[in-house]
A and B are shown apart, each in its own frame.
Chain A
Amino acid sequence: MRRFGFFRRLHQAALVAVLVFGLLPSVQAQPSGNDLVDAALIAEPQSIRAGQPFWVGVRLRMAEHWHTYWRNPGDSGLATEISWALPPGFSAGPIVWPVPERIPVAHLVNYGYEGEIVLLTQITPPAALPGGDVPLRADVNWLVCQKECIPGEATVDLALPGGNGDINAATKSAFDAARQKVAQVSPWPARMQMTDGGFVLSVAAAGLEAGRIREATFLPHQESMIEHAAAQLLSIDANGLALRMQRGSFATAGLPQQTGGLLLITEDIGGKLQQQAFEFSQIAYGAAPAVATVADWATVLQAALLALLGGVLLNLMPCVFPVLSIKILALVSHSGQDGEKARRAQIRRHGIAYTLGILVSFAALAGLLLALRASGAQIGWGFQLQMPLVIALLAYLLFAMGLSLSGVFHVGGSFAGIGDALTRRGGYQGSFFTGVLAAVVATPCTAPFMATATGFALTQPATVGIGIFLALGFGLALPFLILTLVPQLADRLPRPGLWMERVKQALAFPLYATVAWLIWVLSQQVGQQGLLTAMLGLVLVAAAAWSFGLRGRVAMASAALLLVAAAGALYSTARDPAAPAASVAQTQPGGATTEAFSRQKLDGLLAQQTPVFVNMTAAWCITCMVNERTALSSDTVQAAFRERSIVYMKGDWTNQDPEITRVLEQNGRSGVPLYLYYAGGKSVVLPQILTPAIVLEHLDQLDRPQKSVSLSNPTLNPQR
């Protein structure tokens, strides 16, 4: 390390280094004799034991109000440097830095220390010590600033005899205190994701109590990584916390493989604010293998179990229920067939075919989703329903099924063929296809159990991810599968008879209702022209079905022609996309103003300290609709929004929106609904099922009056 020779002469044996402007050629001297920094070397043991590492510390005492810098000095300043001159065979480790304070200067932020600090370093002696006292020496360079900055340097030294390495009682307390100021190694895995304009640090600290955390800040090791003075947005949910940071304007384009830093968390423990600091030495970017390692089988298993449970629950969702009922009806119709053994075998095969249909489609959907995301697409679970083509296709299909149930046409001799006009043998393909249909229709019904699981799945390596989606699909198939595999259960089903005809006709109506819902979804995805063609397409489907029901060559030919025309309607429907998000910016009667979501608008509002409630929703998300009706639009919630001047922001994910997808991701979600509340520089993620009470409780959580916590008065008490 190079330095000014004349300084060394001046301060050679001194513990005090004063660098004054007067020493440099030209003008204006600082008041001399101003001992800005007093540097000394202290050792924890009284003697050195051969081969046994020991701790020393460079103690810096700063003049009042002056500060020196942490390893990352922030917007300006320089980190203190220590270069060791040790006898042969001795080696020194890196500086173990105390947790720094955030020091704001105008609109900039630096990281450093006021008062007194000890920079700990571990020294490893060789197996054989030299005779006599061992001299330890280091050149210390620092920049000390208040408003002005003055570089300084000192050579500090110390001699220790060889011995048994006993702790020096005189310095023990200084070392204990110094260790108290060092961050503890984080017990939680973390990953860093790049977003446009910044980074999101996700820390898998499950079980954090959002209500207790008052503040969280990340101080990166890398100097130019983030905008140090910019607010960091905190969100906490059951999986841990996420901090959103702004990218530094001087961040170089090429990112290193990984980063590190300190996470400072201020918690309210029994009315007392306590700060804890956690050190992350290495955080990988992106969907980190650190979190996704197979070593974490418990997490994967847990997610798979949740997915399975979520899948079972999906059966009750309004979108899947009609499909399932038809399947069960089909099962009943089989029960009249001859040969008990053959009948059971057949039923079993139907169950397996149905399960396979679901599994294959879930694997295909998940695989496609993961592949698209790997190539950079900002899409989430349920993405297929963001395509008007898929929505319209589903509507036509369900409409045709409904017409068949209503008796407009019959497929083969059994209901197993419904939905699959081309089925010939036994209807297993029909069962398979019913499974496919159930899977496709079920995706948007993101049940609460699934949010965590699917969100997790998308951060995992493809195999694990697909595995979790398969668990979800298996859950969906499970009730029917059990019904077919356990003969006792199947036997409980009523015998076929006239009642079946009635039930069959009745079941057409849930399907028509689903069609109505799909068309409504479509109305938000396509323009008026597209909507009209889509509905004309429905008429064509009806005509085709009727024609098909008439039988005979001419009828068949015209049915085929009509279907082609319907396909044409599908095509032109998909080519008429809606004017984006025109439908969401509105004022609800007597309610708070609804703003359409945009990242920019949100950032702007947050910069002005305006509280914001974000509702990420989609027309095809039934849970979202229910939450909006029962909780968000309720008078109490709307009144609370007005009272607290909360801006209600609605993100419509009915159609593709990469901006919303990214927000979902940042919160560990792969689909809607997602509810976020921002206030006072913090944010909280609300549960997926809302009641007015839940919403109000979360509003309170962040709005509770808080004492402001200044990091420059650290009541540092890391729990070690």
Chain B
Amino acid sequence: MTISRRILLSAAAIGAVGLLAIPQFGNASSGVQVGQPAPAFSVKDTNGKTVSLADLKGKTVVLEWSNHECPFVKKHYTGNNMQTLQKKWTGQEVVWLTIVSSPVGEQGYVDAGQANKLTTERGAAPSAVLLDPKSQIARAYGATVTPHMYVIDKTGKLAYAGGIDDKPSARIDDLKGAKNFVDSALTELAQGKAVSTTTARPYGCTVKYASPSA
């Protein structure tokens, strides 16, 4: 019957058009996205040297949000975890930037001198410590807690964002047996592999944000 064939044909045509129209499933959430270019910044470090992310293209960069008075940060420094990571990776040509976003008067605020003193006292080994008292970099990256960790690959794209490991606690004992996401992301990048865990829940103290007008 010609008619049913015609119906069939038009149904098939409709079907084909419909299938072609299947949309791409995008992810339009806020903040920075893993796989997207990391937000640019250019700021003086505690030794007066300008550090700008654009100049670091070609190098793997780690961002570590810090507040030395936060119990969670203390966990990773008292337990020597952060220093070990810093030494291991800066020794392998990775740029490690510790960022302090606490504004004046808030917990964790330090000036350049205090920051350098802290680095010496703690035996820390970042490539540089950046002061962000207006919380601009923190806002650009959507950093919520200390420590909040970001890994940027050699092409300037964000490769990891989130918590430092899988044991959200302030207990030093929990460093043992924790899976360190930063270490594994850096290892995978160094081996030229894709990062397997690209994000995990960040845990720690709330970043002490400067009020936007400040």
Measuring CB to CB, which residues of chain A are less than 8 angstroms from any residue of chain B?
A: 2-4, 19, 21, 24-28, 75-78, 105-108, 110, 143, 145, 147-151, 196-198, 223-224, 227, 230, 246-253, 361, 364, 368, 372, 375-379, 383-384, 387, 389-390, 393, 420, 422, 429, 433, 436, 600, 656, 658
Contacts and interface: CB of A to CB of B under 8 A. Distances in A.
B19 A377 contact: yes
B168 A78 contact: yes
30 contacts: A2-B171, A4-B172, A24-B78, A25-B78, A27-B68, A27-B69, A76-B203, A106-B209, A196-B25, A196-B26, A197-B27, A197-B28, A197-B29, A227-B30, A250-B162, A250-B202, A251-B29, A251-B199, A361-B7, A364-B7, A368-B15, A372-B18, A377-B22, A377-B23, A378-B23, A387-B14, A387-B17, A389-B10, A389-B14, A422-B3
A143 B171 CA distance: 11
Nearest to A246: B29
B144 A78 contact: no
Contacts of B71: 19, 21, 24, 143, 149-151
A315 to B, nearest CB: 22
A483 B20 CA distance: 43
Given A76-B145, A249-B142, A376-B22, A147 B69 contact: no
Given A3-B171, A107-B209, A247-B27, A252 B11 contact: no
Given A24-B71, A148-B205, A377-B21, 20 more contacts: A3-B173, A27-B68, A27-B69, A78-B203, A106-B211, A110-B206, A143-B71, A196-B25, A196-B26, A196-B28, A227-B29, A246-B29, A249-B31, A249-B142, A251-B199, A252-B200, A377-B19, A379-B18, A384-B14, A393-B10
B21 A379 contact: yes
A147 B106 contact: yes
B161 interface: yes
Nearest to B31: A249
A246 B2 contact: no
Nearest to B209: A106
B142 to A, nearest CB: 6
B52 interface: no
Interface SS of B by simple majority: loop
B30 A2 contact: no
B42 interface: no
Interface SS of A by simple majority: loop
B173 A21 contact: no
Contact of A250 (B19, B78, B161): B161
A308 B152 CA distance: 59
Nearest to A224: B201
B13 interface: yes
A249 B211 CA distance: 22
B31 A372 contact: no
B189 interface: no
A658 B23 contact: yes
B184 interface: no
Given A150-B71, A197-B28, A429-B1, A375 B209 contact: no
B2 to A, nearest CB: 6
A547 B176 CA distance: 90
B13 A372 contact: no
A412 to B, nearest CB: 14
Interface residues of B, number: 59
Given A246-B29, A249-B142, A387-B13, A377 B18 contact: yes
B74 interface: yes
A2 B21 contact: no
Nearest to B174: A2
Contacts of A247: 27, 29
Q: What are the 4 tightest A-B residue pairs by CB atom distance, in nearest-first order? A: A197-B28, A106-B209, A2-B173, A658-B23
Contacts of B1: 422, 429
Given A76-B206, A249-B29, A24 B74 contact: yes
Given A148-B69, A198-B29, A247-B29, A106 B206 contact: yes
B96 to A, nearest CB: 21
Given A28-B69, A249-B31, A368-B14, A197 B205 contact: no
Contacts of B173: 2-4
Nearest to B203: A78
Contacts of B206: 75-77, 105-106, 108, 110, 145, 147, 149
A387 B168 CA distance: 53
Contacts, number: 157
A497 to B, nearest CB: 31
A378 B171 contact: no
A389 B6 CA distance: 13
A108 B13 CA distance: 50
A334 B17 CA distance: 41
B66 interface: no
Contact of A230 (B10, B27, B30): B30
B205 to A, nearest CB: 5
Nearest to B26: A196
B121 A151 contact: no
Contacts of A27: 68-69
A3 B69 CA distance: 20
B208 interface: yes
Nearest to A247: B29
A390 B3 contact: no
B72 to A, nearest CB: 8
Contacts of B11: 364, 368
A429 B204 CA distance: 73
A25 B78 CA distance: 8
A149 B169 CA distance: 12
B15 A108 contact: no
A681 B91 CA distance: 51
Interface string B160-188: 01100000111111100000000000000
B144 A378 contact: no
A592 to B, nearest CB: 27
A3 B170 CA distance: 10
Contacts of A230: 30
B32 interface: yes
Contacts of B200: 250, 252
A147 B208 contact: yes
Interface in B42-84: 68-72, 74, 78
Contact of B169 (A24, A78, A105, A393): A78
Contacts of A389: 10, 13-14, 17
A249 B33 contact: yes
B92 interface: no
A149 B108 CA distance: 12
A681 to B, nearest CB: 17
B107 interface: yes
A119 B119 CA distance: 41
B208 A378 contact: no
Given A4-B172, A372-B19, A148 B203 contact: no
A375 B22 contact: yes
B95 to A, nearest CB: 23
B30 A246 contact: yes
Contacts of B121: 26
Contacts of B31: 249
Contacts of A248: 29
Nearest to B34: A249
A659 to B, nearest CB: 8
A376 B18 CA distance: 10
Given A143-B170, A372-B15, A377-B21, A149 B70 contact: yes
Nearest to A19: B71
A76 B199 CA distance: 15
Contacts of B145: 75-76
Given A149-B71, A384-B14, A422-B3, A250 B205 contact: no
A145 B200 CA distance: 22
A249 B129 CA distance: 26
